[in-house]
Amino acid sequence: MLKKRDFHDCHDLYDLMIHPDVFPYVRQKAYSYDEFLFVTKQTIEAEDRGELISRTILDEWGAPIGTINLFDIQDNAGFLGTWIGKPYHGKGYNKLAKDAFFEELFYETGIETIFMRIRKENVRSQKAAEKLPYVIMANESRKSILDQLNANGDIYNLYEIPKDLYTFHVLRTNAQPAQESSQLLEA
């Protein structure tokens, strides 16, 4: 489902990224294929320096369909950035990618908090974030961060995923099938 970023997938990813329904919401924009190669090189180097974590999202056949990233890592926290190509919207890849990425971030890298800045005009992403039971609207609780994000105007809403809330959700979700089967056995 996820793999470290490399140059092998650049052509496919670039073609998916430039779609008009995707491009406005991509943080690392590239206006040509050569620029996309350069941005990918910078991304790989920044990950080597510990500044970000970037993965390519794959479909069930191993084809690249988007990227998921944790940017601006500081104090065991960072900002999530995800995009998936238009042909793959609404097919469940976003949830699968986030689940795999959050597992890696929280349990393999020491990240404690994932922030999501979502443009107020991006209703699709806001609805997706608000469906997740471990996401907190952080406009009030992290007002200083929100103020920095919106220094040039009221553009973003801020969401937060704390490791403890995510872990609680995972443990509760994984325990439900066991509880249901034990209740069936008792009946």
Whole-structure pTM value: 0.86
> Are 166 and 125 in contact, with CB atoms under 8 Å apart?
no
The tens digit of pLDDT for each residue in 36-78 reads 999 999 999 999 999 999 999 999 999 999 999 999 999 999 9
pLDDT in tens, 17-28: 999 999 988 999
Residue 88 has pLDDT above 60, yes or no: yes
Pairing of the two strands 156-162 and 136-137: antiparallel
Using the predicted structure, report yes or no on whether residue 152 has a pLDDT greater than 50.
yes
CATH of 1-111, one of 2.130.10.10, 2.50.20.10, 3.40.630.30, 3.40.50.720: 3.40.630.30
User: Domain residues of the chain, as ranges?
Assistant: 1-111, 112-187
Q: Which of 158, 136, 140 is nearest to 149 (CA)?
A: 158
> Cα separation of 153 and 151, whole Å?
6
- CA-to-CA distance for 168 and 71, rounded, in angstroms? 24
Containing H/E element for 136?
strand 136-137
